[in-house]
Amino acid sequence: MTARVGIVTFPGSLDDRDAARAVTRAGGEAVRLWHGDRGLRGVDAVILPGGFSYGDYLRCGAIARFAPIMADLVPAARAGLPVLGICNGFQILCEAHLLPGALVRNSGLRFIDRCLRVRIEDTGTVWTRDYQPGQEITVVLKSGEGAYVADEATLAGLAEQGHVVARYAGGNPNGSARDIAGVRNAAGNVVGLMPHPEHAIDPLTGPGADGLGFFTAAVRQVMAG
């Protein structure tokens, strides 16, 4: 038996293929899920991949949040299903209120594709337990609306409760509040990450293999039951 990780394709999803490859490299089975279908096909975890779902029209993630599959995903996530939202996936998780805050236009107003270091702040989640607390890893940030924002009380709460999963380590690239690169929910099963770990799984095609840990951790966790 192997861990079955669902990857949702919305109209305009782009990094779904990359997320599937990362799951496979981590030893899991990638199960493709379609936005317009109902049901999660019994997967053990779900990744919402990067891209421009619905062309980012209206607001990033605002339309995808109402896709039929979300009607099944949201209650499953609230019941503990491991969910990782990467980039556009993070935006969708915020729009679906599975995570607090929102992602807005980069402070420089331009799209950024950059290999950069992030510090793993919380290793208590399903997705980050293969890292050491404070470990710095190199991943790929590629987004135009990647600046994390939330009201002061929410930001303070995230910090106090240790719900910030990752922070930018080598300078703030996009104006994110408190250098936040990723957050989690209170239960720790839902994680949103602005940079892309799935683009850092092989030195041949990315800055290294530092990102693979997100996927191996989840696959191992599921296997351990």
As a 3-state breakdown, the chain gives helix, strand, coil percent values, each rounded to 5, of 30, 25, 45
198 assigned to active site: yes
Burial of 97: CB neighbours in 10 Å, binned 0-12, 13-18, 19+: exposed
152 assigned to active site: no
Asked if residue 208 binds other proteins (CB under 8 A), the reply is: no
Q: Which is nearer to other proteins, 54 or 215 (CB)?
A: 54
Catalytic residue among 94, 163, 198, 199: 198
Footprint (CB under 8 A) of other proteins, residues 20-79: 21, 36, 50-52, 54-57
Q: How far is the CB of 82 from other proteins (least distance, A)?
A: 22
Asked if residue 194 binds other proteins (CB under 8 A), the reply is: no
> What is the Cα–Cα distance from 209 to 199, expressed in whole angstroms?
8
Angle between helices 16-25 and 212-224 (to 10 degrees): 60
Q: Which is nearer to other proteins, 97 or 110 (CB)?
A: 110
- Radius of gyration of the chain, Cα coordinates, nearest whole angstrom: 16
Q: How far is the CB of 3 from other proteins (least distance, A)?
A: 20
> What is the Cα–Cα distance from 192 to 21, expressed in whole angstroms?
19
- The gap from C-alpha 2 to its chain's centroid, in whole angstroms, comes to 22
Contact residues for other proteins, defined by CB under 8 A: 11-12, 14-15, 17-18, 21, 36, 50-52, 54-57, 110-114, 140, 142, 144, 196, 198-199, 204-206
Catalytic residue numbers read: 87, 196, 198
